[in-house]
Structure 1
Amino acid sequence: MDWTHYRFVSRWPLPAPAPVVYALLERPEDYPRWWPQVREVTRLDGTSGAFRVRSLLPYDITFTARETRRDPVAGVLETALTGDLEGWARWTVGPAEGGCLARYDQEVDVAKPLLRRFAVPGRPLFRANHRLMMRAGRRGLRELLGTLDAV
Structure 2
Amino acid sequence: MADYKFCTIWRVEASVSEVWDILCHPDLWPEWWGSLEQIIELKKGDMQGIGALHRYTWKGVLPYRITFDIHVLNITPFCLLEGEASGEVEGRGVWSFSDNGVDTIVRYDWNIRTNTRWMNYLAPLAAPVFRWNHHMVMRDGAKGLARKLGTRVEVY
Q: Same fold (TM over 0.5)?
A: yes
Matched, 1:125 2:129: yes
| Alignment partners' CA distance in 2, 1:20 and 1:26 | 10
* Amino acid in structure 2 at the alignment position of 1:95: D
Q: What secondary structure, in the 3-state scheme, does the structure 1 residue paired with 2:43 have?
A: coil
Quote the offset at 1:96 in angstroms: 2.1
The equivalent position to 1:39 in structure 2, one of 20, 37, 40, is: 37
| Alignment partners' CA distance in 2, 1:90 and 1:112 | 22
Matched, 1:10 2:14: no
Matched, 1:82 2:83: no
* Amino acid in structure 1 at the alignment position of 2:130: F
The equivalent position to 1:66 in structure 2, one of 63, 71, 85, is: 71
Render the CA deviation track for 1:119-145: whole Å, top value 9, x for unaligned: 111011001001111111011101101
Q: Aligned pairs, how many?
A: 144
Q: What secondary structure, in the 3-state scheme, does the structure 2 residue paired with 1:36 have?
A: coil
Task: Give TM-score, length-normalised by structure 1.
Answer: 0.91
Matched, 1:115 2:113: no
Matched, 1:135 2:133: no
- Alignment root-mean-square deviation, CA: 1.3
| Alignment partners' CA distance in 2, 1:35 and 1:113 | 27
Identity percentage over the alignment?
28
Task: Give TM-score, length-normalised by structure 2.
Answer: 0.88
* Amino acid in structure 1 at the alignment position of 2:58: V
Which blocks of at least 5 consecutive residues in structure 2 are unaligned? 45-51, 152-156
| Alignment partners' CA distance in 2, 1:61 and 1:68 | 21
| Alignment partners' CA distance in 2, 1:117 and 1:86 | 17
Which blocks of at least 5 consecutive residues in structure 1 are unaligned? none
Matched, 1:102 2:106: yes
Contact 1:36 1:137 in 2 (8 A): yes
